[in-house]
Structure formats: structure tokens, C-alpha cells
Amino acid sequence: MTDAEFLLWVRGPAFTTATFIMCAGLVIRFLEIFLLGRKADLAEARGSAFAGGFRTMFKRSIPDAGSFERSGFTLVSGYIFHIGLFIVIFLFVPHILVFEAATGLSWPGLPSNIIDATNVVTMIALLAVLIHRIKDPVMRMLSEFNDYLVWFVTFLPLLTGYLAFHRVGLSAPMLIGLHILSVELLMVLFPFTKLSHAFTLWMARWYNGAIAGYKGVQS
Amino acid sequence: MSGPSFERGYNALKEEIDAPTAAFFSSCVHCGMCAEACLFFTETRDPKYTPIHKLEPLRKVWKQEYTFWGKLGKALGLSRPLTDQDLADWESLVYDSCTLCGRCSMVCPVGNDITYMIRKLREGMAAAGHAPKGLIDATKRAVTIGSPMGVKLPALQAQIRHTEKEYDVKVPMDVEGAEYLCLLSSMEIMNFPEYIGSIARIFKKAKVSWTLSSQAFEATNSGIQIGVSDIAAELVQRIVDVAEELKVKAVISPECGHAYMAIRWDGPNLVGKRFNFKVVHILELLDELRTQGRLKMKDKEARKLTYHDPCQIARRGGVIDQPRNLLNMLADNFVEMPETGKMNWCCGAGGGVSSNERADDLRLKTFARKKAQLDTINVDAIVSACSNCRIHLEEGLEEYHMELPLLSLTETIAEHLAEE
Ligand code: SF4
Ligand code: SF4
């Protein structure tokens, strides 16, 4: 397989397969959760479960002051790499073209040198997060293979993206091909690992806020 | 009811898992932030006290029974199934080092209601026979005697006679058609009988039609703390029967936080039907009387006061503003602790921890959190609204050589009532 053929393969059949696995996997995960159901609350409500759930879905992105004091590093590094990921994934012009081809939707992007700088910052934040995970006694105890795997497959596309952007080492088609392949790895693992928190956390926050809101507490 | 067994425990856990539980476990990113929200971790720095870690047995069951990969792993013999030993190993984490305070549930960035799940895990632990002896005994007494502390009706009657004489009030008993049925906690009857005198005086002045019941006076529910729903339901049913028989409009929960949780929020779900009466916490009722102008004070409390929110009343129960309204009526100098209301730190004794002797040292150790909070405000007295918090706070203050009086909000209001 030549470099160009490899690129064609990752952009074609491999991409379709990865997309299919990701979507099917997510549907399975959602069903696994929803089908378990939840008993109706028979106690008389004091507040609104709906308003509480809705509020917590958004409000949980802003931590309470005490948490900022006690878990500052986790919060700041977490913010940086999440926002960084968002920027490099959704605001890089070549990526927007891919989304446009798939969905027909388009939006303005950022200049590529800004994306490149964000990418570097995000990688540094992720490295810091990894070191923190290994060194912090609580995180080390909680962490399993899954957590490190998730870290790795999140970091890889950033790294391959950086290499492709700066044309380091290999041919351009090969570099881009490897970058896309690393994204496909992420997509395939997405539904089956902690990565799926990007979707399930909205449900978790919803339930948390609804349970509290029903009792008249804003959680 | 058959005796406890691992199988019963496992099935109970399977049954407890619902959509919220699955959403929570799916979302946990192992960030460790819940640890910093839990006083058992902050005061010991021992990672094993991380809230989500306390749920390992429940998570295993969820994974093996309700996820594709878990089921596959189990079928292929790749994952180690949950064992009775796992449950035994987790007993002290689930019971001794969790007060069900709910603080972790407020902090988790993905929104996990960890406390909700610990309550569920206790159902399985108890069914498998891995609950602490102190709680098992308290629960047995609650079923056979009617009170976790073994308080019988004659003891209550003696306190009532004493109260009636001392305050020149009448304590109504078994009055059909009264507006409110008032419940008590054993601790109030035994350790703080002034509570009975206080509500009798307040209700007399505010002209509240109320009654106690000789059949159901105990409001606490150790069935919930230990995690045995059928017993918890039986204890709630006793109250429901009496409330219906006496045709009361509402039942008043005593100050005790877990009692409030049991009768207000868990009660209808345990017995499986909506109540045809209301349940109000005593502070809700007092605040209502205040807004109606039925609480007249003769003077104000001169001391600088703060308020300790009992977790089940505030964060888990939703009674947050009422005590503050009452305190502002009562005192000119009411100050808040840092991180208060729905973010208050637990005293360390809720969730059955105080009935569990094995946890005594840990419970006093975690009191350092409350001390740190109190050290920042320099008050003359602490007001709270839970007899269980109160006993433990007093013990903690003594242990840490802090001389601070502890007041019950209801009792303090009674003391400042205007004479006729
Ligand atoms: S704070 Fe939430 S996401 Fe983080 S470890 Fe605890 S339960 Fe998991
Ligand atoms: S409910 Fe309270 S005591 Fe229990 S784990 Fe959460 S923070 Fe800790």
C-alpha cells in the first residue's frame, strides 16, 4: 500500500466503519442506561425536578468556591484541556470541512497558527493531568487501565495532528493518514470507555439536579 | 424473611441499580474531586475514603450485570465476580465512613449523586449480612419496641407528665381530628425532653391544634440507615396508620434530620403510595407561624449565634431558608459559617454512624472539619436542629476543648416567646 492508498483507506472504509461503531456503540450505551428505568417519586414535590435537572446540567460546569480551593489543579487543568480539545476539534478549518461534508453544517474557524498554539497548550495540560493522575494518591488509587487508555487515545490525535501540521518526518499523506487513524481509534473506543462521559454526564447531571430539585434544593 | 446471604445481597444490589445509577457509573472520570468534598477524606487524607471508591461493590454489579463488556467479560470468565468477601471488606467504608451527608453529590463535576448510590449499596450490604452490629441492634429495637433506643411509651408518658407540670401546658395525646400529628425522636425523649415542653408552649401560644400518638411517636427510621427497606417501610406504615386514624391534616417531623428524610422523602416511596396528609418539618411549621404573625417574641437573643445545617434537613431535605428566617427573627447577631446551607459540612455522626460504636474514633476525628469551620467565626453559641447532630457536636466540642453552648432552634424560640 502506498502512502496515498493508505490515506484513501483511512478516509474511506476505515472512517465509515469507525463512525458506525461509534454511533452504534453510543446507542447501545444509552439503551443500557435508559432501559433500567427509574421509579416514580411518590413523595409530594417541593420544587421542580425539571427545573432542577436542567439547571444542574449547566451549573455543574462551574464549581463551588470550596472545590476551587481544594481541587484547584484538577479544575484548572481540566478546563484547559477540555476547552483546548473543543477548539482544536471544532474550530480548525480543515476539520470544519470534514463536518460540513458529513452534515452540511459549517461555521467559521480560527487561524491555523492559533489552533497550533492551542494544540500545544492542550498537550501540555494533558501531560500535566497524566502526571497528576500518577502522583496524586486518590487518583492513583481510582485509576485503572481504562483511564490510562483513555488518556492515550485522547493525546494521540493531538500529537499526530501536531506532526502532520508541521510535516515532521514522513510524507504528508502518511502523516495525515496517521492522524485520521488515531482519531478513528478514539471514535471506536469512545462508546466503550470513559470517553463516553462526554454524553452520559448530561444524563448524570440531569438526574442529580432532578432528584435535588424535586426536594427544593439547587444542586 | 429469610436470613442474610450473599445471594440475597447480590440480588438486592441488582434490583437497586436504576437508570440514574447507570448514568452515574458511566460518567465517573476518576477525577478524585469527590474526595475533597468528604470529611472522612479531608480529615484523614486516606484515599480509601474517596466517596466513589466506597461504591466499588455496587459498581462491579452494575458492570457485570448491565453493561455489554461486563457481561461479555463475565461470560468468558475474564473478570473476577463480586464475592461475599468483597462486601465484608467494604462494610466499614460503607457504614463507618459515610454519614450519607450528600456533600460529594454536590461537588462531582459529572454530576454523580454518590450518596444516592451509597444508600442503595447499603440495601445489598444489609441483605448479605454485612451491616454493623450497633445498627442491626438499633433496627431490631425499632421493630420490636418501637424505638431504636428502646424507648417505650411509659418513658414518654413520664416525660410528658414532667413537662406538663414544669411548663403548665397540656400535651395532647391521641386526639382525633387534631390538625397536626407530632412525631419525636427517641433522643429527644431521652436526652432533650425540653423539646416536648418547647413545642407544647409554642403551639399553645400560636394556637396550633396538635397531638402526639401513643401508637406512633418515634420518627427516626433505622431501617433506612442500615438499608433494609421492608423494615423501613414497616416503621413508616405505623405512622401512616395513625395519621389516617386520627385524620390529621399533617404530620410534623421532629428536628432530627434522618427522621425528616425518612418520613418526608423516603416514606411514601417505602410504603408504595402517596400520603393523604402532608409532612412538614418542625422548622417549616415554625417559619409558617412566623409569617402568619403567630410567633411573638418577648426579646431577642443577645449572643452571637451561628447555625449548623443538619445534612438531611438542608442539603438532602430542602429546609434551608426557614431556619435562617427564624434566626434572624430571634437574634441580632446571626452569622454564617463558611460553606453553609446546602454546602455545610456534616457534623460526622449522621447516616447511622453514631449508632455504630466501631466508628467512634473516626467520628471524633472528622469533627476537626466542624472545628475548622467554627474557628473562623468566633461565636457565642451554635444553634442546630437535630438531636443527633447536637449530641455529637457536644461530644466533639468537648473532645476538642471548645466551650460553646449548643442550642436547639425550636427550644431557643420557646425560651423567647412573649408572655400572654
Ligand atoms: S468527583 Fe465524580 S467523576 Fe470525580 S471521581 Fe468522584 S464520582 Fe468520579
Ligand atoms: S455522603 Fe458525605 S460522608 Fe458519605 S461519601 Fe459523600 S461526602 Fe462522604
The pLDDT of residue B137 is 87
Residue located nearest, by CA, to atom 8 of ligand 2: B38
* Region of poorest pLDDT, from B199-208, B225-234, B302-311: B225-234
Does the pTM surpass 0.80? The reply is yes
Query: How far does the centroid of ligand 1 lie from the alpha carbon of residue B31, in Å?
Result: 5
Give the ligand at the shortest distance from the Cα of B101: 2
- Tell me the per-residue pLDDT of A64-96, one tens digit each, with 9 for 90 and over: 889 999 999 999 999 999 999 999 999 999 999
Residue A162 CA, ligand 1 centroid: distance in Å: 31
- Write down the pLDDT at residue B3: 82
Q: In degrees, to the nearest 5, what angle opens at C-alpha B90 toward C-alphas B367 and A36?
A: 110
Query: What pLDDT, in 10s, does the model give residues A100-132?
Result: 998 999 999 999 999 999 999 999 999 999 999
The answer to whether the CB of B110 is under 6 A from ligand 1 is yes
pLDDT digits (tens, 9 = 90+) for B275-307: 999 999 999 999 999 999 999 999 999 999 999
Residues 6+ apart with CB under 8 A from B62: B17, B21, B22, B25, B70
Mean model confidence pLDDT for chain B: 95
ipTM computed for the complex: 0.96
Q: What proportion of chain B, given as a percentage, has pLDDT over 90?
A: 87
- Burial call A158-178: b when 16+ CB within 10 Å, e when fewer: bebbbbbbeeeeeeebbbbbb
Q: Pick from B386, B330, B396, B415: which is nearest to B192 by CA? A: B386
Please give the number of the atom of ligand 2 that sits closest to the Cα of B102: 1
Of B191 and A153, the one with more pLDDT: A153
3-state secondary structure B184-195: ECHHHHHCCCHH
Q: Is the CB of residue B391 below 6 angstroms from any atom belonging to ligand 1?
A: no
pLDDT at B406: 95
CA A29/CA A192 separation, integer angstroms: 8
* Centre of ligand 2 from the C-alpha of residue A62, in Å: 21
Find the helix or strand (DSSP H, E) in which B252 lies. Answer: strand B250-253
Q: Do A204 and B37 touch (CB under 8 A)?
A: no
CB contact under 8 A, A41 and B269: yes
Beta carbon of B106 within 6 Å of any ligand 1 atom: no
Residue whose Cα lies nearest atom 6 of ligand 1: it is: B34
Q: At what angle do helices B6-16 and B84-95 cross, to 10 degrees?
A: 60
| Residue B403 in this model has a pLDDT that exceeds 90 | yes
Inform me whether the C-beta atom of residue B107 falls under 8 Å from chain A C-beta atoms.
Answer: yes
A137, B66: Cβ pair inside 8 Å? no
C-alpha distance from B376 to closest chain A C-alpha (Å): 15
Contacts of B21 in chain A (CB under 8 A): 36
Place of cell 435508559: A34
Pairwise pLDDT comparison (B204 vs B149), residue with the higher score: B204
Bridge-partner residues for B180, per DSSP?
B210, B250
| CA–CA min distance B369, chain A (Å) | 13
> What is the pLDDT confidence band of residue A169, given thresholds at 50, 70 and 90?
confident
B136, B4 Cβ separation under 8 angstroms: no
Q: Binning pLDDT at 50, 70 and 90, where does residue B419 land?
A: confident
d(CA A91, nearest CA chain B) in Å? 25
> What DSSP character marks residue B218?
B
CB contact under 8 A, B32 and A142: yes
B370, B393 Cβ separation under 8 angstroms: yes
- Topology annotation, domain B297-415: Rossmann fold (3.40.50)
Q: Does the pLDDT at position A1 exceed 60?
A: yes
Is the pLDDT reported for residue B5 higher than 70? yes
Average model confidence (pLDDT) across chain A:
96
**Tell me: domain B140-290, CATH 3.30.70.141, correct?**
no
Report CA(B305)–ligand 2 centroid distance (Å): 27
Q: Does the structure show a pLDDT above 80 at B94?
A: yes
pLDDT tens per residue across span B268-277: 999 999 999 9
Instruction: Report pLDDT for B149.
Output: 82
- Ligand that comes closest to the CA of residue A133: 1
| pLDDT tens digit sequence for A47-64 | 999 999 999 999 999 998
Cβ atoms of residues B195 and B407 within 8 Å: no
List pLDDT tens digits, range B321-352. Answer: 999 999 999 999 999 999 999 999 999 999 98
B56-66 and B6-16 are packed helices; what angle lies between their axes, rounded to 10 degrees? 70
The domain made up of B4-131 is a member of CATH 3.30.67: no
**Has residue B2 got a pLDDT over 70?**
no
Q: From the CA of B53, how far away is ligand 1's center (Å)?
A: 9
Nearest to B318 among A28, A141, A217 (CB): A217
Which one of A44, A64, A142, A154 makes the best mutation probe of the B interface by having the most chain B beta carbons within 10 Å? A142
Q: Say if residue B1's pLDDT is above 70.
A: no
* Cβ within 8 Å, pair B26-A142: no
Contact B21 A36 (CB under 8 A): yes
Q: Domains along chain A?
A: 3-34+64-199 (1.20.950.20)
Nearest to B17 among A36, A47, A133 (CB): A36
Residue B241, classified by CB atoms within 10 Å of its CB into exposed (0-12), middle (13-18) or buried (19+), is: middle
A-to-B residue pairs, Cβ atoms closer than 8 angstroms: 177
Minimum-distance CB partner of A142 among B53, B339, B343: B53
**Distance, CA B313 to ligand 2 centroid (Å)?**
15
The residues near B28 (Cβ < 8 Å, ≥ 6 apart) are: A194, A197, B52, B108, B110, B112
Q: Which pLDDT belongs to residue B225? A: 86
Residue B165 pLDDT > 70, yes or no? Answer: yes
- Using the Cβ of B69 and the Cβ atoms of chain A, whether some distance falls under 8 Å is answered with yes
Instruction: Return the pLDDT at B317.
Output: 97
Asked if A140 contacts B31 with a C-beta cutoff of 8 angstroms, the reply is: no
The answer, yes or no, to whether residue B144 has pLDDT greater than 90, is no
What residues does ligand 2 touch, defined as CB less than 6 Å away?
A: B 37-38, 40, 51, 54, 98-104, 114-115, 118, 346
B297-415 and B140-290 share a CATH fold: yes
Tell me the ligand closest to B108's alpha carbon.
Answer: 1
pLDDT of residue B11: 97
**Mean pLDDT, residues B54-80 taken together:** 94
Angle separating helix axes B6-16 and B114-127, nearest 10 degrees:
150
Nearest C-alpha in B relative to A208: B113
B318 vs A194: CB contact, 8 Å cut-off? no
Q: Phi and psi of A15, rounded to 5°?
A: -65, -45
Annotated domain spans of chain B: 4-131, 140-290, 297-415
Distance B33 CA to ligand 2 centre (A): 12
